[in-house]
């Protein structure tokens, strides 16, 4: 996966690069601070090169030139080398660097032009440089998360246990099976979100055995704190579990029941903005305490940024009901990240980690202090809490509000929501674009620390996207239709059958690549739905797709039983429109799996290593396996042992 296949500029004159860490060859561009990184270049004599230079610098800063040492000739190739001491190169907190190689040949200098973080061409001018991430020497991620299976629950729509919650605001939709979520006339129009279906924490507790059959090891819950909205992304009080969900008592019971089954529970932390109807802002006077909207004398007044008191204030994306917190205010920040702050409080109470909503909006001081607080509280419990961030792009060089974000340097996040994976899977399933799939997964693998790759939240859908089954059956995602039309629009039987086949292939890939699969509640039961809020339909307990759910159960069993899915990842060669990769255990079990998918209209003939002799699981028509030959039918996928 590291730069080794290059587009030639001149036949027979292409340099090659070998990277080693200590004595081990590596294919990554993310290194632990303190590791010695050696680049060895083999430069054809025909290139006429008299010297090679490494140009390296911190991202956004002027680079320095380091000459490589010539150390011999091998079969018509000049050998050059340079070793970097990453402890001297990077400060203790780590950093992002950019580098390129210069080939000096008389009066002409050739530069490496990185076409991505893996491949390069040679050109006559400074162009794109390679990325190098150096992370903290003490960076570790929770070992319990790697190799698991996550289940993402939008709590109001999962399951309503009887007599377990008190409606304190809004209205209750009694018809769970046929009710439609509230929707605005047009996307983005104001909406009260005060129609609740009444899903609660006791409902999740009641269904834990069903989730265990899916192989679920981690529950990720949408916001559970007191709020006036069914989505609860406009928190009213971070110190209370919403009474409709059953309050603090229901939370404690869920935690205890989940832990008894070996499951962990991750909470959704919405710390960029509360609601305007909250104890902190109190725009509607709901709370007895003086809120920031009501008076400059409020203890929370400095937590928000007013352009003109009281009605002109900063809010998330200009949405008035979501006033933005001023995280640069130390009192505000300490409320969340202090020793006894919100983050630590709920970890001590039993939560096993946080997913951070809109991580792009959270300042670095907040994230640094948040990690310290959460990890400290975890040590008190004898556990290592997980911190995931909502980041939609490659998080290694993510820039937000003009600043490079050090998410993965070891002082902030353990992992991120892997939306690039979703993009790659859709490109493969819908368009047969295997090159994009390979490039995306390879790019992430080489640019993230290995421990982060183990902690990626690999998703096919979330509460912010159309349902994966709907996208696969209707790639237009309902474009041109009104919200009223989309509220009842469903796939035709033919489109649904096609979508289910593609979903099984996509899920097989999701459960077998590096990282942790995250199943959005109801996807395994065939739940459909277009854009928000229709991707938040109630779970179809009365009419689930039992065959699809059974397939997901087999995937969960596969992850539980095979240490290879916690091990190394390597792509193997395969034709366009298909992918093939190998997983290998890092322990002494010797467990190895080969995964292949064929998205073309024709059978795929693959020559595979002779060690793979049995089919563990397949999507679509069954493959044919004999000796070292695999015949994979069109639109199918397989896991071999």
Taking each helix axis from N to C terminus, what angle separates 419-431 and 434-447, rounded to the nearest 10 degrees?
160
DSSP 565: G
**How many CB atoms within 10 Å of residue 485?**
11
- 304 backbone dihedrals φ, ψ, rounded to 5°: -125, 160
Q: How far apart are CA 411 and CA 30, in angstroms?
A: 15
Cβ(405)–Cβ(378) below 8 Å: no
Q: Based on the residue annotation, tell me whether 390 is a catalytic residue of this protein.
A: yes
**How many CB atoms within 10 Å of residue 299?**
12
Displacement of CA 534 from its chain's centroid (Å): 22
Please spell the DSSP secondary structure of 472-526, one letter per residue. HH-TTTTTT--HHHHTT----HHHHHHHHHHHHHHHHHHTTSSSEEEEETTGGGT
Q: Which residues contact 226 (CB under 8 A, 6 or more apart)?
A: 235, 236, 237, 240, 241, 242, 243
Side-chain half-sphere of 609: how many Cα atoms within 13 Å? 13
> Annotated catalytic residue: which of 173, 369, 390, 524?
390
Q: Which residues contact 641 (CB under 8 A, 6 or more apart)?
A: 562, 591, 592, 593, 612, 613, 614, 615, 616
**How many CB atoms within 10 Å of residue 74?**
9
- 353 backbone dihedrals φ, ψ, rounded to 5°: 160, 180
Q: Dihedral angle at the C-alpha atoms of 366, 369, 374, 379, nearest 10 degrees?
A: 170
- Encoding tokens for residue 588? 């002494």
SS3 of residue 219 by DSSP: strand
- What pairing do the DSSP bridges indicate for beta strands 64-67 and 24-25? unpaired
Q: Based on the residue annotation, tell me whether 357 is a catalytic residue of this protein.
A: yes
Q: Which strand (E) or helix (H) includes residue 83?
A: strand 77-85
Please spell the DSSP secondary structure of 88-144, one letter per residue. HHS-TT-EEEEEEEEEEETTEEEEEEESSSS-EEEESS--PPEEEEEE-TT----TT
Cβ(615)–Cβ(623) below 8 Å: yes
> Annotated catalytic residue: which of 357, 360, 384, 524?
357
Cβ(460)–Cβ(510) below 8 Å: yes
Burial class (CB in 10 A: 0-12, 13-18, 19+), 314: middle
What residues act catalytically? 357, 390
């Amino acid at each position: 996966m590291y730069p080794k296949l290059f587009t030639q500029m001149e036949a027979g004159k292409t340099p090659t690069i070998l990277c080693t860490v200590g004595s081990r060859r590596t294919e990554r561009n993310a290194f632990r601070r303190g590791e010695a990184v050696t680049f060895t270049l083999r430069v054809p004599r025909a290139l006429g090169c008299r010297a090679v230079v490494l140009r390296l610098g911190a991202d956004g800063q002027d680079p320095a030139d380091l000459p490589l040492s010539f150390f011999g000739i091998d079969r018509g190739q000049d050998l050059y080398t340079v070793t970097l001491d990453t402890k001297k190169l990077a400060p203790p907190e780590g950093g992002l660097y950019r580098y390129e190689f210069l080939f000096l040949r008389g009066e002409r200098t050739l530069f490496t032009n990185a076409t991505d973080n893996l491949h390069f061409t040679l050109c006559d001018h400074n162009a794109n440089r390679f990325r190098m991430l150096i992370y903290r020497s003490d960076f570790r991620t929770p070992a319990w998360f790697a190799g698991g299976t996550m289940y993402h629950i939008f709590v109001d729509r999962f399951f309503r246990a009887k007599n377990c919650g008190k409606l304190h605001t809004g209205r209750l939709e009694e018809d769970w099976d046929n009710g439609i979520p509230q929707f605005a006339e047009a996307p983005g129009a104001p909406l009260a979100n005060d129609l609740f279906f009444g899903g609660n924490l006791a409902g999740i507790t009641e269904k834990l055995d069903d989730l265990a059959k899916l192989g679920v090891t981690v529950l990720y819950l949408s916001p559970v704190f007191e709020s006036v909205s069914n989505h609860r992304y406009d928190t009213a009080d971070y110190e209370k579990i919403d009474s409709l969900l059953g309050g603090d008592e229901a939370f404690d019971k869920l935690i205890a029941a989940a832990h008894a089954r070996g499951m962990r529970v991750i909470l959704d932390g919405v710390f960029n903005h509360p609601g305007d109807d909250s104890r902190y802002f109190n725009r509607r006077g709901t709370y007895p305490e003086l809120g920031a909207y009501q008076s400059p004398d409020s203890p929370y007044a400095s937590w928000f940024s007013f352009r003109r008191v009281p009605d002109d204030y900063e809010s998330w994306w200009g949405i008035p009901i979501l006033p933005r917190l001023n995280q640069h205010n130390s009192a505000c920040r300490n409320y969340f990240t202090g020793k006894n702050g919100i983050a630590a409080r709920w970890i001590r109470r039993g939560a096993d980690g946080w997913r951070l909503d809109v991580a792009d909006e959270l300042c670095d001081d907040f994230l640094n202090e948040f990690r310290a607080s959460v990890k400290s509280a975890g040590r008190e419990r004898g556990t290592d809490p997980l911190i995931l961030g909502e980041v939609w792009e490659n998080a290694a060089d993510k820039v937000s509000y003009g600043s490079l974000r050090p998410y993965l340097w070891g002082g902030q996040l353990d992992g991120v929501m892997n939306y690039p994976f979703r993009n790659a899977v859709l490109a493969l399933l819908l368009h047969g674009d295997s090159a994009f799939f390979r490039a995306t997964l390879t790019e992430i693998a080489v640019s993230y620390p290995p421990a982060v790759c183990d902690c990626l939240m690999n998703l096919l859908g979330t509460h912010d996207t159309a349902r994966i089954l709907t996208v696969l059956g209707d790639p237009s995602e309902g474009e041109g239709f009104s919200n009223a039309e989309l509220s009842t629009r469903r796939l035709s039987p033919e489109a649904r059958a096609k979508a289910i086949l593609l979903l099984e292939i996509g899920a097989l890939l999701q459960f077998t690549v590096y990282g942790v699969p995250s199943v959005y509640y109801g996807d395994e039961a065939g739940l459909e739905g277009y854009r928000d809020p229709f991707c938040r339909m109630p779970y179809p307990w009365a009419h689930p797709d039992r065959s699809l759910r059974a397939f997901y159960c087999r995937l969960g069993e596969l992850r539980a039983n095979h240490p290879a899915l916690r091990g190394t990842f390597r792509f193997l060669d395969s034709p366009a429109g298909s992918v093939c990769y190998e997983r290998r255990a890092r322990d002494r079990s010797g467990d190895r799996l080969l995964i292949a998918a064929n998205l073309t209209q024709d059978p795929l003939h693959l020559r595979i290593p002779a060690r793979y002799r049995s089919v563990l699981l397949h999507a679509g028509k069954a493959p044919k396996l004999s000796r070292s030959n695999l015949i994979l039918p069109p639109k199918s996928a397989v896991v071999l042992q």
